[in-house]
Amino acid sequence: MDKQHVELNGRTILVTGSPGFIGANLVLRLLGALSGGTVISLDNMNDYYDPALKEYRLGLIEEAAKASAVRHIFVRGSIADKALVFDLFERYRPAVVVNLAAQAGVRYSIDHPDVYIESNLIGFYNILEACRHYPVDHLVYASSSSVYGGNKKVPFSTDDKVDNPVSLYAATKKSNELLAHSYAKLYDIPSTGLRFFTVYGPAGRPDMFYFSATNRLKKGETISIFNYGNCKRDFTYVDDIVEGIVRVMQGAPARATGEDGLPIPPYQVYNIGGGTPENLLDYVSTLQEELVRAGVLPADYDFEAHRRLVGMQPGDVPVTYADSAALERDYGFKPSIGIREGLRRFAEWYKAYYG
């Protein structure tokens, strides 16, 4: 699909889910790269994980904003609050919206379905409605590799059928794509969905495996390696994710009219993945080596005594592997940061943050 260039400098950009993990890194990138404009961060700062990490990221953003030519505004609230969302759009009229706000986590969705419906469905609907009534140049939103479910064909392609989610989280993300497509068709809203593949990095989410494993190892506890180590993940370092998002923001699906006189949906979905699926045991070994190197764990740490191989968890899949060729073709971007470099940066941050 043809792309329409979207200028970011001097514009108003709304990033929901900042200061969440990806959102905070995106806002920091925009504050450092743009020469003017306004970036609005919206997040409810919930306690799904330690809110101190979100406060820490918000502090980084506020410090960066002091040295930036870009104005930053933080709004504490939920995208499920329709009145708040509409008030933001009425007041600031964002040209670009990046919706990263969502209740994350596959396993958490098994026991806490309500928050996924509220944030991922009702909240996303509110964003779409606001983009309908206050037209935007581009809506970019987070989907997930989870939509591929138990897909046996690898690498995962956006041309694959994704009608069999194995978790409620995955079902809500697929629903986001369907809702965005219908709004693109009905209201001519240029929208791009991004299927993220296992994002990791400094100041990430403590519920993600690399972070929770580090916490457990530090306490001398045992970590569980699922599917008896026969898992592969397309780990994607957060800087690669942010680079992909920024490029996509600047190229919206072009509007066009079909033979029926109605809009051809200006809609696209892409994978963003590391492109090299890593065996979970290799990933864990690299993590342990980097934790020792950074001084988080002692040099004589007995790793074998602190890990056990267990079966697959409900809602999980054995392999995730992205076919990101379309992203490279349309935006000239391919993730480049390997797990050794990425985990080294995480381990060094962890040592500095926790001591």
Q: In the structure encoding, which two tokens stand for residue 213, read together?
A: 């494993």
- Provide the CB-side half-sphere exposure for 191 (13 A, CA): 27
Distance CA 79, CA 150 (A): 30
Instruction: Please name the residues in contact with 1: beta carbons below 8 A apart, sequence gap of 6 or more.
Output: 253, 254, 266, 268, 330
The pLDDT of residue 27 is 98
Q: Give dist(CA 286, CA 277) in Å, integer.
A: 14
Q: What distance in Å separates the CA atoms of residue 155 and residue 234, rounded to the nearest whole number?
A: 10
Token duo for residue 155: 């690498």
Residue linked to tokens 């919930």:
46
State the DSSP string of 135-197.
--SEEEEEEEGGGGTT--SSSB-TTS-----SSHHHHHHHHHHHHHHHHHHHH---EEEEEE-
CA 71 → CA 18, 34, 192, distances in Å? 15, 10, 25
Residue 315: the pLDDT is: 57
- Measure the CA–CA gap between 52 and 201, rounded to whole angstroms: 17
- Positions in the chain short of pLDDT 70: 312-317
Domains (range + CATH), the chain: 3-198+236-275+321-336 (3.40.50.720)
**Which pLDDT score, from 0 to 100, does residue 308 have?**
87
- Which residues are the active-site residues? 169
Three-state secondary structure call for residue 226: helix
DSSP track, 2-29: -EEE---TTSEEEEETTTSHHHHHHHHH
Q: Mean pLDDT score of the chain, rounded to an integer?
A: 92
Three-class SS of residue 299?
A: coil
Contact 222, 213 (CB under 8 A): no
pTM value?
0.94
CA 171 to CA 10: how far, in whole Å?
A: 37
The whole-angstrom separation of Cα 16 and Cα 101 is: 5
Sequence-separated (6 or more) residues with CB below 8 Å from residue 346: 200, 201, 202, 204, 210, 211, 214, 290
Predicted confidence (pLDDT) per residue in 19-32, tens digit: 999 999 999 999 99
